[in-house]
Amino acid sequence: MSKRTDRELVDAARAGESDAFGVLMRRHQRRIYRLALHLLRDPAEAEDATQETFVRAYGALDRFDGRSEAFTWIYRIAVNLSLNVIRARKPNRKSFSTDDPRLEGVLVETRAGSANPLGDSENRQLGRVLCEGMDALSDTLRTTLILVGVDGLSHAEAGEVLGCPEGTVAWRVHEARKKLKLFLVERGFAPKGEEGAA
Amino acid sequence: MNDRRSSSDLGSSAEATLNAFPFPERDWERDARAIEARLTDSIRGSTDASLLAAPLPNETDEPSSMSATATPLTHSGVRTQSLTEMARRSVEKKQASERQMARESLALAAQQRQVALPSGAAPVPASVNQVVAVSQARESARVASNTSNRSLKIALAFPALALAAAALLWFRRPEPAALATNSVAQAEPNAVATGAIAEPQPTPDTPRGVDPGTLPGEATPAAAPAQGKVAALPGKPSASKLAAKDSHAAPAAEAVDRSLPPDPSLRPADSRGGELPAKPTTGAVQVALGAVMGGARHCVAGDDAPSSAVVVFGSDGRVQRVTVSGAAAGKSSASCIEAQLRRARVQPFAASNFSVNATVRPE
């Protein structure tokens, strides 16, 4: 049996096919979790947000009008839920780079093939500074950068998620990268070939 | 490679980390089953609509609508929009703007006719000095004798002013002075009727030729209808009201020119004399008309034959008079064309006026 598209799965779930939404959920849960993790920087909150995203999406299936892709529609719910969590946080709460869950992945990756300990150390440091730089961005720039730069969505897809034109997405990504680059350069991570210039 | 790209290029290591940001693996199946367990209790249609809305506010310095050229390259150097798509969007935006402009001009022309009908009188030829000397006294007499008519005009004036303000905001030209006079020119018939016009009224003592904004090309048409009502002389049909007003403005402009010394070297430094060219260059006229021709073409959209227009520029560089002939003559589209072509501007020149023929072809 050929693999069903997201839209077919949504239609089937709407029609009452109990397994269809489960297939859709398993297809996208990793990406949704990763998005929530980057936005929330807390594994427990990210897990809750992922669960909540699919529960809310299921509850709103009848309102999916098919003008966008199903996964961008689910992404939008995930972004909204994550932003709600961030807004509900106490204002003095900060994420600490020492136990940043995003870095856990970087550490595991570098440890697996550690033929170059110096390089690993540099990568870990780079990952840490990269995370700090992303945290310093505004919610708007950070979310757009995560969708495009980290999660690999096209500008059109990110535009569907965020409800803005592709050009706006492109501008935000450019701005976010520019600020991120400045942040990296200030901390001694100038791109290769620009060390002197920086 | 590209400045815009290099300014946001993070370097190969950072790019690699960003593009493939790893995250710890989990027991996804366990997570999925947990979600499925919650789905059974979930009620369809219970999700808050706010979760389906666009999530984020705009950045403070974010362009409201990105132009085609402003779209930056991605970090991989690939444009996310094709040039064809960007060009198409740009053209669509421009056409929409011109259509809106034409619609506003038609609406203004229709309102001008509505105002002209109850008055039953057309403007009267007058020189600038005559208008300036008597306009205030006559306006007072007219208001006292016809207050009910004034109320009607006040009611009509507000939409016209609102339209003019909307047009101002829409066009947002870089020349504030030109914009201001343009908006007043569009709103003047109704605004004069209420006495609410903000343009300074010239007095007989006002030095002529000092401020282009008070030159006869703009000031006289504003005062002429008021004077025309008092004089109550037989006039031309209301459909050609704009053109009629300008035919009165032309003698006024000539009167101003006659009052200045014939030799340009003897004219005051701040007058329209001095080192002005004798007449506008062909290129300047083409550019000026080309800038407004798009809007004029919208006025005749759907017509089979082209229309002609004689555009007369005054020495201050503004359009004094537009006479439309051909397919649009006598129709509401003629007023629309006039309103569009009146927006043309050239540099001031020494001659009293300068005429040019323009053909307005349907889109």
Subunit contact B36:A22, Cβ cutoff 8 A? yes
- Does the pLDDT value for residue A10 go beyond 60? yes
Give the pLDDT of residue B158.
74
One-letter amino acid for residue B302 of the chain: G
- Cα separation, A79 vs A95, in Å, equals 19
Q: Is B10 on the interface with A (CB under 8 A)?
A: yes
Q: Give a yes or no: residue A157 inside a domain.
A: no
Q: Give a yes or no: residue A116 inside a domain.
A: no
**Length of chain A (residues):** 198
Give the pLDDT of residue B256.
47
Q: How confident is the model at residue A52 (pLDDT cuts 50, 70, 90)?
A: very high
Q: How confident is the model at residue A36 (pLDDT cuts 50, 70, 90)?
A: very high
- Does the pLDDT value for residue A80 go beyond 70? yes
- Cα separation, B76 vs B81, in Å, equals 14
The whole-angstrom distance between A1's CA and the closest CA on chain B is 22
CA dihedral B41, B45, B50, B52 (to 10 degrees): 100
Give the pLDDT of residue A107.
54
Q: What are the residues whose beta carbons fall under 8 Å from the beta carbon of B319, sequence distance 6 or more?
A: B217, B311, B312, B313, B341, B342, B343, B344, B345
Yes or no: say if A58 and B68 are a contact pair by the CB < 8 Å rule. Answer: no
Subunit contact A191:B22, Cβ cutoff 8 A? no
- Cα separation, B208 vs A122, in Å, equals 77
Query: Which residue in this structure is represented by tokens 């946080």?
Result: A89
The count of structural domains within chain A is 1
A-chain residue closest to B49, CA distance? A60
Query: What does the DSSP assignment read for A58-117?
Result: HHTGGG--SSS-HHHHHHHHHHHHHHHHHHHS-TT----GGG-HHHHHHHHHHHHT-S-H
Give the pLDDT of residue A51.
93
The whole-angstrom distance between B96's CA and the closest CA on chain A is 18
* Short-list A32, A34, A68, CA closest to A53: A32
Q: Which strand ranges, in their side-by-side order, compose the sheet holding B307-314? A: B319-326, B307-314, B353-360
Calculate the alpha carbon distances from B35 to A39, B28, B306 in Å. Answer: 20, 11, 68
The whole-angstrom distance between A196's CA and the closest CA on chain B is 14
Q: What are the residues whose beta carbons fall under 8 Å from the beta carbon of A108, sequence distance 6 or more?
A: B22, B24
Q: Give a yes or no: residue A186 inside a domain.
A: no
Print pLDDT tens along chain B (363 aa). Answer: 444 446 667 777 777 777 767 667 778 888 888 888 888 776 666 667 777 777 877 777 776 544 434 444 444 444 445 566 667 767 777 777 777 777 777 777 777 766 655 544 444 444 434 444 444 545 544 544 554 556 666 777 777 888 888 777 776 554 433 333 333 333 333 333 333 333 334 334 433 333 333 333 333 333 333 343 333 334 444 434 434 444 444 444 444 455 555 555 445 444 444 578 888 888 888 888 888 888 888 888 778 888 899 999 888 888 998 999 888 888 888 888 888 898 898 888 888 888 888 888 887
- Cα separation, B256 vs B127, in Å, equals 9
Tell me the three state secondary structure of residue B162: helix
Q: Give a yes or no: residue A108 inside a domain.
A: no
The whole-angstrom distance between B1's CA and the closest CA on chain A is 13
Interface of A with B in 82-141 (CB under 8 A): 83, 101-102, 104-106, 108-109, 122-123, 126-127, 130, 138-141
Q: What are the residues whose beta carbons fall under 8 Å from the beta carbon of A40, sequence distance 6 or more?
A: A46, A49, A82, A85, A86
Subunit contact B55:A76, Cβ cutoff 8 A? yes
Calculate the alpha carbon distances from B144 to B124, B138, B140, B231 in Å. Answer: 21, 10, 6, 15
Q: Give a yes or no: residue A154 inside a domain.
A: no
* Short-list B79, B109, B122, CA closest to B224: B122
Longest dimension (CA), chain A: 63
Count Cβ neighbours within 10 Å for each residue of A134-161 and write b for 16 or more, e otherwise.
Answer: bbebbbbbbbbbbbbbbbebebebbbbb
- Average pLDDT for A19-41: 91
The whole-angstrom distance between A72's CA and the closest CA on chain B is 11
pLDDT: is B112 or A180 the higher one? A180
Give the pLDDT of residue B192.
35
Cα atoms found within 13 Å of the Cα of residue A12, Cβ hemisphere only: 14
Nearest-CB residue to A167 (from B4, B21, B70) = B70
- Cα separation, B272 vs B254, in Å, equals 13
Q: Return the minimum-mean-pLDDT range out of A66-75, A77-86, A161-170, B172-181.
A: B172-181
- Cα separation, B163 vs B105, in Å, equals 9
- Does the pLDDT value for residue A54 go beyond 90? yes
Q: Give a yes or no: residue A34 inside a domain.
A: yes
What angle (nearest 5°) sits at the alpha carbon of residue B161, between those of residues B157 and B163?
120
Contact list, B52 vs chain A (CB under 8 Å): 60, 63, 73, 76-77, 80
Give the pLDDT of residue B84.
62
Write down the pTM of the prediction: 0.45
Subunit contact B11:A156, Cβ cutoff 8 A? no
- Does the pLDDT value for residue A135 go beyond 50? yes
- Parent domain of A59: 1-93
Contact list, A127 vs chain B (CB under 8 Å): 17
Calculate the alpha carbon distances from B34 to A21, A50, A146, B40, B310 in Å. Answer: 14, 11, 26, 11, 78
ipTM: 0.72
Contact list, B32 vs chain A (CB under 8 Å): 22, 25-26, 29
Q: How confident is the model at residue A98 (pLDDT cuts 50, 70, 90)?
A: low
Give the pLDDT of residue B10.
75
Q: Is A41 on the interface with B (CB under 8 A)?
A: no
B-chain residue closest to A65, CA distance? B52
Subunit contact B8:A55, Cβ cutoff 8 A? no
* Short-list B153, B167, B147, CA closest to B196: B153
The whole-angstrom distance between A98's CA and the closest CA on chain B is 16
Contact list, A80 vs chain B (CB under 8 Å): 50-53, 55
Q: How confident is the model at residue A82 (pLDDT cuts 50, 70, 90)?
A: very high
One-letter amino acid for residue B221 of the chain: P
Yes or no: say if B65 and A149 are a contact pair by the CB < 8 Å rule. Answer: no
- Average pLDDT for A101-105: 67
User: Is residue B326 within a helix (H) or strand (E), and if so which, with residue range?
Assistant: strand B319-326
Yes or no: say if A82 and A47 are a contact pair by the CB < 8 Å rule. Answer: no
CATH code of the domain covering residue A29: 1.10.1740.10
Yes or no: say if B333 and B305 are a contact pair by the CB < 8 Å rule. Answer: no
* Short-list B70, B111, B60, CA closest to B90: B70
In degrees rounded to 5, what are phi and psi of residue B156?
-80, -25
Q: What are the residues whose beta carbons fall under 8 Å from the beta carbon of A117, sequence distance 6 or more?
A: none
Q: Is B69 on the interface with A (CB under 8 A)?
A: no
Q: Is A174 on the interface with B (CB under 8 A)?
A: yes
